[in-house]
């Protein structure tokens, strides 16, 4: 009986720590690890340690990277006068798939949420203000999710940024209200980008 197998139970617990993994799925994955070849399991363990060790935040845009500065911030072909502000690194991936956006990003690592105890200080907002303060930035596109928290964060940022003389825009409501940007299709994201509007 697997309930008796301590190491299997422990492994399932680790899987269950991951976002969106329930108990049953976690146990299924733990069983699945046992079916891996010996070498594959070792590579898996190594990959976890490697990812944790090598990946850190880009000092400019706060996106995840394994380089000193992330490839987007380091790319001189990109338009550094535009910053697209996103909630997390996964949204950067989704935006990049559109292939229409040529500016840079800024990853907040969360949204302001008094209900969940997330205050502006916990997000990468002061880093964003510092970037804008340097003077090169002309437009900040706030691409937070079209949810209550996403809107509230956009409003908060707008109030801080507009006095600095930059245009603050918001993705158009091409993305369905209440949805997660990560799962938006590329055309929807493209239309939302095209129809972006000023935040007043």
Contact footprint for a second copy (CB under 8 A): 1-8, 10-11, 13-14, 17-21, 25, 27-36, 38, 40-55, 63-67, 70-72, 88-90, 92-93, 96
How many angstroms separate the Cα of 169 from the Cα of each of 15, 60, 114, 155? 39, 21, 24, 10
At its nearest, how many Å lie between a second copy and the CB of residue 74? 10
Q: Pick the closer one to a second copy by CB: 1 or 200.
A: 1
Cβ atoms of 187 and 155 closer than 8 Å: no
Q: How far is the CB of 103 from a second copy (least distance, A)?
A: 13
CB of 160 to a second copy, least distance (A): 26
Q: Tell me the C-alpha distance between 144 and 192, whole Å.
A: 12
Instruction: Please give the helix or strand (H or E) that residue 14 lies within, else none.
Output: helix 6-17
Smaller CB separation from a second copy, 78 or 162: 78
Q: Using alpha carbons only, how large is the chain's radius of gyration in Å?
A: 20
CB-based burial label for 125 (10 Å; 0-12, 13-18, 19+): buried
Residue 7 or 116 with smaller CB distance to a second copy: 7
Beta carbon of residue 30, minimum distance to a second copy (angstroms, whole number): 7
103 versus 161: smaller Cβ distance to a second copy: 103
């Amino acid at each position: 009986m697997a309930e008796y197998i301590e190491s299997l139970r422990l492994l399932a617990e680790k899987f269950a720590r991951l976002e969106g993994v329930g108990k049953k799925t976690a146990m299924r994955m733990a069983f699945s690890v046992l079916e891996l070849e010996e070498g594959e399991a070792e590579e898996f363990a190594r990959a976890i340690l490697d990812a944790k060790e090598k990946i850190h935040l880009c000092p400019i845009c706060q996106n995840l990277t394994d380089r000193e500065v992330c490839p987007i911030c380091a790319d001189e072909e990109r338009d550094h006068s535009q910053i697209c502000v996103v909630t997390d690194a996964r949204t950067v991936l989704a935006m990049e798939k559109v292939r229409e956006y040529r500016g840079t990003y800024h990853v907040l690592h969360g949204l302001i949420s008094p209900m969940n105890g997330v205050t502006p200080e916990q997000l990468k907002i002061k880093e964003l203000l510092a970037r804008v303060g340097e003077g090169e930035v002309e437009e900040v596109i706030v691409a937070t999710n079209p949810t209550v928290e996403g809107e509230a964060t956009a409003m908060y940022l707008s109030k801080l940024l507009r006095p600095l003389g930059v245009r603050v825009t918001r993705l158009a409501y091409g993305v369905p209200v209440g949805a997660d940007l990560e799962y938006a299709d590329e055309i929807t994201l493209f239309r939302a980008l095209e129809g972006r509007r000023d935040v007043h």
